[in-house]
Amino acid sequence: MTGVWTAAVLLMLLWHMYESRGGGLYRYAYVRAFAVCLPAVHLLTRIYLPEADWTGAVYGILGLGVAALALSLLCSLRLMRREGWHLRNLQSVLLCVGLIALSLLILAFSGKEGLLWVTGSLTGLLLYGTGVLAASVLLGVIAGRKQPGYNRDAVLILGSQIREDGTLTPLLRGRAACAMAFARRQERETGKLPFLVPTGGQGADECISEGDAIARYLLDEGYPKDRIYAETRATGTAENLRFSRDVISARGIQEARIAFATSDFHVFRTGVLARDMGMDAAGLGSPTKLYFWVNAYAREILVMLYRDLRFFGMDVICIFALEVLSVLL
């Protein structure tokens, strides 16, 4: 029976290694491959070292959860002072509360007769959840800091909310400045000045489209008018990419090598979308304040879980089943 459980755990690991092979940085499969390693170690330890105590690891995760909750609360309070009360400004707090609650539940059941399967399965799920959060943040930071090579045909500038007078917010101005800085560096390095494609439609509370607002800013900053092509229909990230690709194709550039400029917390998810669309795209991350980044990246993690719900759900079911069966059988 030990050999059967070992084979099952190794098969789970091999499947995730196979799924995450190749394909560049922008893949949710990397998050799952890292996250599943932690419950796999727990399962193998349960098989070969049944007396091993994982309570210390649970206490460690609980401590990290409490520290993260304190940071999240501080960031959320500052964010709400600027943007007002809204549940979306508490998403990082909710993630930390979930981590803490699961840790406390495990500790409450720990050592009780007949409940080994409960503590074992919950510990496996806690380790998986911790791995998902850790891998997401790590990949997000790497993606936000990584710079594309100087061989891009165009640089997209992803839009966001503009001010009532049509000028750019600091966040959006940072994206535009990041794109221009990269374009100028590429020109110095290679002599090739890429097109800039500011992208974003007009919201109900905006006086002009985000694409046009960014284009005005670029012109005011001295970027050549004939190297700016605004996209003014997109209402979300996927449309930013799709419609911008159409704009570039209309200029006679097929299979374009693209860079996209967005906020650092948004690079990883945008890269995944671009990869799924078959685009040769690499991200440029503009820095954001810590108080904004913490909650914004919590939202990115929740969106990732939603977009890949089937695969994350399969992991949870598989880990839960293996943990329970390893105890009952």
Place of tokens 């922008």: 26
- Any idea which of 12-16, 97-101, 109-113, 238-242 has the lowest mean pLDDT? 12-16
CB of 80 closer than 8 Å to CB of 282: no
Question: Looking at residue 120, what is its pLDDT?
Answer: 85
Distance CA 108, CA 100 (A): 12
Which structural domain range is residue 224 located in? 154-255
Q: Between these two residues, 11 and 125, which has the higher pLDDT value?
A: 125
Question: Looking at residue 175, what is its pLDDT?
Answer: 95
- Any idea which of 44-48, 152-156, 259-263 has the lowest mean pLDDT? 44-48
Query: How many C-beta neighbours within 10 Å does residue 219 have?
Result: 12
Last residue of a domain, one of 255, 282, 313: 255
> 165 in a domain, yes or no?
yes
Question: Looking at residue 323, what is its pLDDT?
Answer: 82
CB of 159 closer than 8 Å to CB of 200: yes
Last residue of a domain, one of 255, 279, 308: 255
Question: Looking at residue 204, what is its pLDDT?
Answer: 79
* Same-domain status, 15 and 129: yes
* Same-domain status, 105 and 52: yes
Q: What is the pLDDT of residues 54-89, one digit of tens each?
A: 888 889 999 999 999 999 999 888 888 877 777 778
> 278 in a domain, yes or no?
no
Contact partners, residue 211, CB within 8 Å, separation at least 6: 159, 198, 199, 200, 201, 230, 231, 232, 234
Q: What is the pLDDT of residues 21-47, one digit of tens each?
A: 666 789 898 899 889 988 888 888 877
Structural domains in the chain (count)? 2
Mean pLDDT of the chain: 88
Q: How confident is the model at residue 161 (pLDDT cuts 50, 70, 90)?
A: confident
* Same-domain status, 122 and 21: yes
Share of the chain above pLDDT 90, in %: 53
> 288 in a domain, yes or no?
no
Question: Looking at residue 5, what is its pLDDT?
Answer: 55
Q: How confident is the model at residue 242 (pLDDT cuts 50, 70, 90)?
A: very high
Question: Looking at residue 211, what is its pLDDT?
Answer: 93
> 235 in a domain, yes or no?
yes
Q: For the chain, give percent helix, strand, coil, nearest 5.
A: 65, 10, 25
Flag whether pLDDT at 185 surpasses 90. Answer: yes
Q: Residue 233 sits in a domain of what CATH number? A: 3.40.50.620
Per the confidence metrics, is the pTM higher than 0.85? yes
* Same-domain status, 189 and 323: no
Q: What is the pLDDT of residues 265-319, one digit of tens each?
A: 999 999 999 998 989 999 999 999 888 899 989 999 999 999 889 989 998 998 8
Question: Looking at residue 48, what is its pLDDT?
Answer: 78
Question: Looking at residue 271, what is its pLDDT?
Answer: 94
Q: How confident is the model at residue 329 (pLDDT cuts 50, 70, 90)?
A: low
Flag whether pLDDT at 1 surpasses 60. Answer: no
Q: Is 70 exposed, middle or buried (0-12, 13-18, 19+ CB in 10 A)?
A: exposed
Question: Looking at residue 90, what is its pLDDT?
Answer: 85
* Same-domain status, 54 and 158: no
Last residue of a domain, one of 202, 228, 255: 255
